[in-house]
Structure 1
């Protein structure tokens, strides 16, 4: 596979839409477990002005998170570059799929010293809140929110953005 094909493949990662219903009544193994099938992590890189889906973030293995040691103290990474992992949950409504939950979690990465900051409790909380349809982006910087809004609004021709709630549209800059 050529590098052009490889980079095109990375850019076409779709949002995950609900495939199976874990509460369909089978009552077997995993009944009552939380399904992450309708959640996708969007990486916001304000340094490079880009936003993209990286499913590796579901297991702390996104490109941004690789080859660094995470520390729970932001002060230990004073020169870290800012990134956001935005946990986006997609639901299906009357008009089709829409962005139901959108919660941004900060990470700071210093490649030079191979150290990074991430608050695991914050990431877990934001994943949970996203699954519950909450919008939590007010702590993000304006530039990153604009990158997120543009990415969501452009995804699949804007259909999912158009179907989304006014709360989400008002939380992100025009």
Structure 2
């Protein structure tokens, strides 16, 4: 008898209905990735798979000191949910990475990035490490991107972006 290996599937809109052991689904339909570069915020879908335009061609190091002259970027994971009043920003988390494009080296804590993505998917808000200027830029971006979604978002989320 062939031994089954544990699997974890990332799927889009599909459901696992057989109830099998060692299976799971992770729905990324409501997750978006934003990149903060200085005070500029942009939607960057490639961040979900670590293939964004700023990460391409970069060899990531475990030691942050090797990239101490690099540029600081913030990755923002945003989950949008829907209730009776409409869509709202449900989870927002932030994590940093540094990239020295000249040396083609970068640093990021991959475990932290995965954990922050998971937190956003679980509708948590964790942007404590984000500098004030970046918080303001993020707030302005989210509000301008979709005023209705911003209006429907929780007061707690809005307060954390002040």
Give TM class, smaller chain: 0.7 to 0.9
Kindly name which structure, 1 or 2, has the bigger radius of gyration based on alpha carbons: 2
Distance, in Å, in 1 between the alignment partners of 2:111 and 2:140 is 28
Distance, in Å, in 1 between the alignment partners of 2:15 and 2:92 is 22
Aligned partners of 1:41 and 1:88 also within 8 Å? yes
Distance, in Å, in 2 between the alignment partners of 1:112 and 1:87 is 27
- Report the number of matched residues: 150
Instruction: Return the offset for 1:68.
Output: 0.8
Distance, in Å, in 2 between the alignment partners of 1:73 and 1:103 is 23
TM-score (norm 1): 0.80
Aligned partners of 1:91 and 1:98 also within 8 Å? yes
- In structure 1, the partner of 2:153 is 164
Q: Does 1:69 align with 2:62?
A: no
Distance, in Å, in 1 between the alignment partners of 2:136 and 2:100 is 24
Identify which of 3, 13, 21 aligns with 1:20: 13
Identify which of 28, 32, 35 aligns with 1:43: 35
Deviations 1:105-140 (A, max 9, x none): 101111111111100010000011001111010111
Distance, in Å, in 2 between the alignment partners of 1:31 and 1:131 is 18
Matches for 1:92-103 after TM superposition, within 5 Å: 92-103=82-93
Instruction: Return the offset for 1:28.
Output: 7.4
Matches for 1:75-94 after TM superposition, within 5 Å: 75-94=65-84
Instruction: Return the offset for 1:22.
Output: 3.6
Deviations 1:61-110 (A, max 9, x none): 11111111111221111111111110101111121111101000101111
Instruction: Return the offset for 1:144.
Output: 1.0
Matches for 1:98-117 after TM superposition, within 5 Å: 98-117=88-107
